[in-house]
Structures are given as C-alpha cells and as structure tokens.
Amino acid sequence: MKLSLLLLIIFITEFTVYAQQSELSKTVNYLSEFIASDYFRNLENATEDLSLVDTLFNRAVNYRGGDYSEALLSLMLATVPYKKVPIQIPLIKTIIQYPLTSANDSVFLIKNKNLPKDLYFDTPQNSFGDKDKLAHFFGSAFLAYNSSIFDLGDLIGYFVEVFEEEFKVQSVIDNRDLMTNKFGYIFGTYLKKDKRIRPSSTFLLRTLFYIRYNLP
C-alpha cells in the first residue's frame, strides 16, 4: 500500500521534473543564488525568518511568471539542504546516492548557511534549526496545489515520510516532518483558492494551535 502510493507520487513529481528539466534547473539555480546573496543575508539581519520565507516565495512566483505550481516545485528543490539522498532499494537492499537538482557546490554551501531556520516557536535552538522543514513544506504544497485530478487528501502530508521509511533514508518517522507536511498541504490547498495567502500565515498555525490547546 505504502509502496504503491510512493510510486504514484514519484511518477507525478518526476513527470513534472523531466518535462521541464531545463527551466526547473534554471529556477533552482536562481533561487539558490538569491538565498546565497549578500542581499538575502542582509535581509536576515533585518527581519524575521518567516518574513524571509515569504520573500523567497514571492521571488519564486515572480521569476516563474505567476506559475505557482512551478514555483512550489522549484522552492522544494532549492531549499533541500542535501545534494544527494542515500536510498536503500527495497528487496535488493542496494544503497544508491540519488542526485537532486541543485546549484554548484560553492553556491550550495552558502545557500544552506543562509536558509531560514526559525520557523516555529519551538524550533531547536542550534545552527540548523528547522532548515530541513522548508523542503517538506513546499513539497507538500506542490502536491496539494496539483491534486485536482487525484484527491490525495491527508496522504499528501505523508509523502516525504513514506519515501524515507520505505527507502531507508531515515530509520524513524519524524513527527515534526509530518506536522510540516500537513501545513504544506494546507498552504497548497488554500493557495488554489486565494493567491494572497503566504507561507508565514500557515507556519504560524503551529503557534495558534499551541496557544489554543496548551495554555489555560
């Protein structure tokens, strides 16, 4: 069941990637260079990380000429903090290093350093924080935004975790990743209805939920 879902999602994503590989690579490079730029780094010193995520989203949408689907897919790949993913193929148990679309090494390293990391009120207070959650968020948003043909519903929120569990990228499911996938799904769903919505408003749901259910 999980493997069937995984293959369906990979097919949907890979079809989009290969159909637009050249433009996708250009956009990923453009966004990576933007994040690695002195301009973006100066913004980090002047504003909160959630505002930076909105700025990055706006820049992607503008660069793609208002194509939100392409912008979300490009954002997913541009914010992944890894160039390759170690994958252990089921049954044959062979580990391969699956290459992801990314910028050159020098830009990639600076981009990772500049990625917004304080996304939630309980983000780990270290140099990495929640940087890896951006790819989860935009990946889930991309699938939700393009789910008009297949109503994947809550399964959208699990697509990254299913991939990681089935192909042994990590040993256990991360509940914070699942939460971020869910928020990405919410964002992608509402983005189809209202183009004024921005990522920051969705990330703030975490704080609102905490206040609603944990504070007297």
| Lowest-confidence pick of 117-126, 160-169, 201-210 | 160-169
Q: Which among 18-27, 178-187, 189-198 has the top mean pLDDT? A: 189-198
* pLDDT tens per residue across span 137-187: 998 898 889 876 545 544 444 444 444 444 444 445 577 888 888 899 899
pLDDT of residue 56: 97
* pLDDT tens per residue across span 48-105: 999 999 999 999 999 999 999 999 989 988 998 877 666 666 666 666 666 666 677 7
Residue 144: name the closest of 213, 209, 202, 85 by CA: 202
Contact indicator for 152, 140 with CB cutoff of 8 Å: no
pLDDT of 12 strictly over 50: no
How many structural domains compose the chain? 1
Question: How much is the pTM?
Answer: 0.78
What is the residue range of 7's domain? 2-214
- Amino acid present at 91: L
Kindly report the three-state secondary structure assignment for every residue of 19-33. Answer: HCHHHHHHHHHHHHH
pLDDT of residue 21: 57
What residues contact 38, with CB distance under 8 A and at least 6 apart?
Answer: none
Q: Which among 55-59, 128-132, 138-142, 210-214 has the top mean pLDDT? A: 55-59
pLDDT of 201 strictly over 70: yes
Residue 58: name the closest of 90, 34, 80 by CA: 34
User: How many Cα atoms sit within 13 Å of 98 on the Cβ side?
Assistant: 12
Scanning the structure block, which residue is given the tokens 């989203």? 57
- Rg of the chain on CA atoms, in Å: 17
Residue 64: name the closest of 20, 100, 114 by CA: 20
